[in-house]
Chain A
Amino acid sequence: MGDILGLVAKRLGLGLIILLVISVIIFFMVELLPGDIAEAVLGQGATPENLAALRKEMGLDQPAIVRYLDWLSGAVMLDFGNSIVTGTSVSQTISERFANTLFLATYAAAIAVPISIVLGIIVALLRNSIFDRVANVATLTSISSPEFFLGYILILYLAVKTSMFPAIASLSSDMDFGDLLYRTFLPALTLVLVVTAHMMRMTRAAIINLLASPYIEMARLKGTPPWKVIVKHALPNAWAPIINVVALNLAYLITGVVLVEVVFVYPGIGQALVDAVSKRDFPVVQACCLIFAATFILLNLAADVGAILTNPRLRHPK
């Protein structure tokens, strides 16, 4: 077991280092701007006195490295400073939005993960049949469509033409859970469509790869019935690839969520990021980027750790 713990610890450490490097990139990229944030805030008409005052207030007279350490230690405590545009605390603005985004992503994942794994296994078992080919074309099409295309099609047919669901996912605090699920159904469905296609294809590939292993043929040649070949011989070895597929696609959800939030005017962190980018509100941009990157790294980490933990060769060392 020591081996496994060592490997997991090593992988965790690596993730932490990557996150640190990324925080450096995110912070110092903003430093590349000509002038500084103070100039950006005050614009063309700023007097040197105003600039100096604001710089002092924002701590811009300190060397970059000191400000980075300040920012980083703040970020660890979930304090990302104040927005340039509104002046309010960044963490306050985005914390609720982040919760909304997490809700949407979880909603989509809860539908997509079971469906796609089951469908993926089914098409893998039916490989080269007509269903497999149809599924191949369908998933390819779904993957190739931009999220906003799927989103607007759903709005057009399920909201505008038939008014089964609301087109705009407005949230308010007095909604009960069922209402919440109903109102956010279309954005969740859009995400489900994209992610399911990805996950199905990857699950199929992983299972087919697995079914080609000599020990599966051996099991068949031992007279093991087909269901038992799958359950007893394929599945125990399939966890690692499946965990990998799921984690990778949850990570993919993070990117997809930005576009979907904009299409459905959903009050999530993705929309906050897009707004901040167009208003050039750098503290918010930095905070959102760091949160997205951290989630992404965390999911990849989970995939690798999952693969380590389910590997029989590592679980039972020599």
Chain B
Amino acid sequence: MSVFVIIYYTLLLGASCLAAYFNKRSAFLLIFSLTLVSFILGIVGGPGALRSVAIAAGLLALAAMVSYAFREFLIVIASTNMAKELRTAPLTAAFGMFVIFTYAIAGIFAPVIAPFGEAEIISSAFAPADETMLLGADQLGRDMFSRIIYGARNTVALALAGTVLAFLLGALAGLLAAVNGGWFDQLIARTSDVIMSIPSLIFALLMLSIFGGELANDTTSFWLLTGFMMVTGLLVVTAVFENNIIGWAIGLAALVGVSVAFAGFMLIIFNPSEIILVLVVAVIYSPRVFRLTRAVAGNVVVMDYIEAAKLRGEKTWYLIRREILPNSTAPLVAEFGLEFCFVFLLIAGLSFLGLGIQPPTADWGSMVRENATLVSFGEITPLIPAAAIALLTVAVNFVVDWMLYRSSGLKV
């Protein structure tokens, strides 16, 4: 019996007795079941296992404290209304917000934070960690830490772009379908049924096998992106101008201009293969967004105030903008977070398979793949980018969970 084990059990038992004494039922149940589990763990895994439990508990406590402090910080700086909302946030949601905040900082200021460039080779392959390289070097001798920081920028930006495009198309189509109904609704619903009956990863692989090779050039990606934006914009033009022919002409002209400008702008930020990836993701996820938006907007459209507005002769675009959107913001924002998680995991998975973001761009999925051999030597370095992926997804999910709870709780 080492001193550590004795202290470990003393603390646990003491805490459970205190919890029982002060009638904190749930705390008692938690601590006492942990004690019982520890007995078994201690017998099977020895003090080592107990030590990892203690470390995990310490980390959890640390995370809880950080989350608590961060929530208080947000409450102080937020407006009164926001602060009232924030007070209801559980610690998990506060933790999520903290993580998202940290990633945003890391992504935006990546060149400032990272000590080296993302493609800079500074030492030998798989060099171990030292003072200059916090996490050692990767398979080509690039600094792992810098690449992880840059990954926050590249991977997240790409996933964000994919989600935004999927959302633009899916949400617009969903809102229009809810307002108009009829054959338009049916057509889009059936199309999305078909797309959704191919598993997303499989569909992505299929599309990448076709657009991933020589088609991933500047011209093709430019026109594909312009086309995607035209389709999306066409929905807006339909909603805004309805049967007004002159309006259509003006709208179409403006639409072409905006689409071309947007595609050009995207080409400056991303390289062609990344744009193809964004488009693939947008095509796969827009049906899911459509389905949800259609459902959310469908609940609003049956309200009498929508009928009153329709009977007044209001145009579709007014209905969407002034009547439906303000009443479906909360579920749509939550859904945006959820879709972001899916998109992010899909892109990470594709990169891990070597079919997503291409080297030398630093990206978490491909970093795991490139350094996977280290795992067989018992190193945890290749797991760090994977953990970075998991952490962000968990964080977003925590926040979404809270928001969904809030928006469903308000109905009761």
A143-B397, A144-B394, A149-B390 known; A258-B355 Cβ under 8 A: no
CB closest chain-B residue, reference A134: B30
Decide: B194 and A21 in contact? CB cutoff 8 A: yes
Q: Does A107 lie at the interface of the complex (its beta carbon under 8 Å from any beta carbon of B)? A: no
Within 8 A of A (CB), among B187-212: 193-194, 197-203, 205-210, 212
Closest to A156 in B: B375
Given contacts A277-B205, A280-B209, A282-B209, contact A148 B214 (CB under 8 A): no
Q: Which residue of B lies closest to A253 (CB)?
A: B199
- CB-contact partner of A140 in B375, B380, B394, under 8 A: B394
For B400, give the chain A residue with the smallest CB separation: A140
Complex Cα spacing A152 to B383, Å: 7
B197, B208, B375, B394: the one contacting A18 at CB < 8 Å is B197
**Contact between A156 and B378, CB atoms less than 8 A apart:** yes
Within 8 Å by CB of A160, from B202, B206, B345, B376, lies B376
On chain B, the residues within 8 Å of A207 by CB distance are none
Q: Which residue on B lies nearest to A31, using beta carbons?
A: B210
Q: Cβ of B205 and Cβ of A285 under 8 Å apart?
A: yes
Given known contacts A140-B397, A285-B209, A292-B199, A146 and B352 CB-to-CB distance under 8 angstroms: yes
Q: How far is the CA of A231 from the CA of B354 in the complex (A)?
A: 49
The tally of residues in B whose CB lies under 8 Å from a CB in A reads: 52
> Could you say which residues of chain B place their CB within 8 Å of the CB of A223?
none
Which residues on the A side are within 8 Å of B203 (C-beta)?
Answer: 289
Contact of B29 among A131, A137, A160 (CB under 8 A): A131
| Distance (whole angstroms) from the CB of A38 to the closest CB of chain B | 15
Contact A149 B378 (CB under 8 A): no
A255 & B201 in contact (Cβ 8 Å cutoff):
yes
CA distance A204 to B206 in the complex (A): 35
Which B residues are CB-close (under 8 A) to A300? 197
Cβ–Cβ < 8 Å partners of A156 in chain B: 375, 378, 380, 383
Q: Of residues 346 to 382 in B, which have CB atoms within 8 Å of A's CB atoms? A: 348-349, 352-355, 365, 368, 372, 375-378, 380, 382
| A152–B197 touching, CB < 8 Å | no
- Residue B259 at the A interface, CB < 8 A? no
Indicate whether A293 sits within 8 Å of B207 (C-beta atoms), given known contacts A145-B390, A146-B349. Answer: no
A262 lies within 8 A of chain B by Cβ: yes
Number of A-B pairs, beta carbon distance below 8 Å = 145
- The count of chain A contact residues (Cβ–Cβ below 8 Å) is 54
> Is A146 a contact of B345 with CB atoms below 8 Å?
yes
The answer to whether B387 has its CB under 8 Å from any CB of chain A is yes
B202 touches A22 (CB 8 A): no
Query: Do A277 and B355 contact each other (CB < 8 Å), given the known contacts A130-B26, A152-B382?
Result: yes
Find the A residue at minimum CB distance from B193.
Answer: A18
Beta-carbon contacts of A244-268 to B below 8 Å, as 1s and 0s? Answer: 0000000100110011001100000
- Residues of chain A touching chain B, judged by Cβ–Cβ distance below 8 Å, are 18, 21-22, 25-26, 29-30, 32-34, 129-131, 134, 136-137, 140-141, 143-149, 152-153, 155-156, 160-161, 167, 251, 254-255, 258-259, 262-263, 273-274, 276-278, 280, 282, 285, 288-289, 292-293, 296-297, 300
Interface residues of B (CB under 8 A from A): 26-27, 29-30, 92, 193-194, 197-203, 205-210, 212-215, 341, 345, 348-349, 352-355, 365, 368, 372, 375-378, 380, 382-383, 386-387, 389-390, 393-394, 396-398, 401
